[in-house]
Amino acid sequence: MLDHQQWQADEFEQSRTHLTAIAYRILGSAAEADDAVQEAWLRLSRSDASAVENMRGWLTTVVSRICFDMLRARNARREQLVDEWPFDPVVTLEDPYDPEREALMADSVGLALLVVLESLSAPERLAFVLHDMFGVPFEEIAPIVERGVEATRQLASRARRRVRGAREPRAESLSEQRRIVDAFLAASRDGDFEALVAVLDPDVVLRRDAGASRAPVPAQVRGPKEVAATILSRGGRFAPLARHALVNGRVGVLVASDGRLISVVAFTFAGERISGIDLIVDPAKLRRVQA
């Protein structure tokens, strides 16, 4: 019995990263993803899985069902998650400009994609994430979303069209993104309003996620001049403290002082300009950043 329990634990640990990736892409929250994976472990520990031939596949189905139930419960509470912006930043500190890391771009999930996924129904989101991102066959997805196989194909197809239609133009490479971010930081450090405006897209949006804070700073600022003025008036002094990192698969920055993380900044790009700046200062989210 002990050997079987150890085998289950070993199989689960080997699949943990895979399960967490699925849960995060479905739920958009690192904290909720951890909860879903932990619940999957509890269900495994209470089950007799000795007859399971494909443990990774079995666990994928279990965590997907858990996430599906969490999405439906979320919808029942009518939470407006895009407005409340619960997304946790996924930060990678390894050198993001190593050419070997370029392949990670295809598998990364940025804030823009999370926002698009949030607009999908729970069945659409699950069908798209499981099939298009993780290659799970429709025959295995259909029972989870409580649809037939053909109906599940249609769910993924609808989701795919919406995702493709909503994706923003992206800089060609991480090195190009770094050049743009460096120009942004240089203009911020120098207090150069015109140079800062020049690196911002005409439709740029600055979003600030402060969590429960009630600081007198707008949650959103739109337009290059308005965004530039906000950055120079409030954030220019922090630019010298910034260091590069991959944030949700794109070039971003961390701002820290005396060893304390102050903010995470995620960028989206349109051609050679910045189209979105997501400033994360929510203490709860910053505590979960492993940097």
For residue 10, tell me if it sits in a domain: yes
Same domain, yes or no, for 151 and 179?
Answer: no
For residue 160, tell me if it sits in a domain: yes
Same domain, yes or no, for 253 and 122?
Answer: no
Q: Show Cβ contacts of residue 118 under 8 Å, excluding neighbours closer than 6 positions.
A: 28, 81, 82
Same domain, yes or no, for 37 and 153?
Answer: yes
Same domain, yes or no, for 116 and 36?
Answer: yes
Residue at which a domain ends, from 166, 196, 212: 166
* pLDDT in the model for residue 163: 79
Same domain, yes or no, for 65 and 205?
Answer: no
Q: Which residue has the higher pLDDT, 93 or 280?
A: 280
Per-residue pLDDT, averaged over 59-65, amounts to 95
Same domain, yes or no, for 111 and 160?
Answer: yes
CA distance 2 to 286: 39
Task: Encode pLDDT of 7-28 as tens digits.
Answer: 788 889 999 989 998 998 888 7
- Domain CATH code at residue 262: 3.10.450.50
Same domain, yes or no, for 107 and 134?
Answer: yes
Per-residue pLDDT, averaged over 108-136, amounts to 80
Residue 134: which domain range? Answer: 2-77+91-166
For residue 69, tell me if it sits in a domain: yes
For residue 84, tell me if it sits in a domain: no
* pLDDT in the model for residue 236: 67
Task: Encode pLDDT of 247-270 as tens digits.
Answer: 776 788 888 888 788 888 888 888
pLDDT above 90 (res 193): yes
> What is the 3-class SS of the chain, one letter each residue?
CHHHHHHHHHHHHHHHHHHHHHHHHHHCCHHHHHHHHHHHHHHHHCCCCCCCCCHHHHHHHHHHHHHHHHHHHHHHCCCCHHHHCCCCCCEECCCCCCHHHHHHHHHCCCHHHHHHHHCCCHHHHHHHHHHHHCCCCHHHHHHHHCCCHHHHHHHHHHHHHHHHHHCCCCCCCHHHHHHHHHHHHHHHHHCCHHHHHHCEEEEEEEEEECCCCCCCCCCEEECHHHHHHHHHHHHHHHHHHEEEEEECCEEEEEEEECCEEEEEEEEEEECCEEEEEEEECCHHHHHHCCC
* pLDDT in the model for residue 227: 92
Same domain, yes or no, for 19 and 159?
Answer: yes
pLDDT above 50 (res 103): no
* pLDDT in the model for residue 73: 85
Query: Residue 246: beta bridge partners?
Result: 92, 251
Same domain, yes or no, for 183 and 152?
Answer: no
For residue 86, tell me if it sits in a domain: no
Residue at which a domain ends, from 130, 148, 166: 166
For residue 115, tell me if it sits in a domain: yes
Tokens coding 203: 């439709």
Task: Encode pLDDT of 145-189 as tens digits.
Answer: 999 999 999 999 999 888 776 554 454 577 888 899 999 999 998
Same domain, yes or no, for 46 and 179?
Answer: no
Same domain, yes or no, for 24 and 160?
Answer: yes
For residue 82, tell me if it sits in a domain: no
For residue 85, tell me if it sits in a domain: no
**Cβ–Cβ < 8 Å for 252, 271:** no
Q: Which residue has the higher pLDDT, 252 or 104?
A: 252
- Domain CATH code at residue 141: 1.20.140
Same domain, yes or no, for 37 and 154?
Answer: yes
pTM beyond 0.85, yes or no: no
Tokens coding 9: 């634990």
Residue at which a domain ends, from 119, 142, 166: 166
Query: Looking at the 3D structure of the chain, how many domains does it have?
Result: 2
Provide the pLDDT confidence category of residue 107 given band limits of 50, 70 and 90.
very low
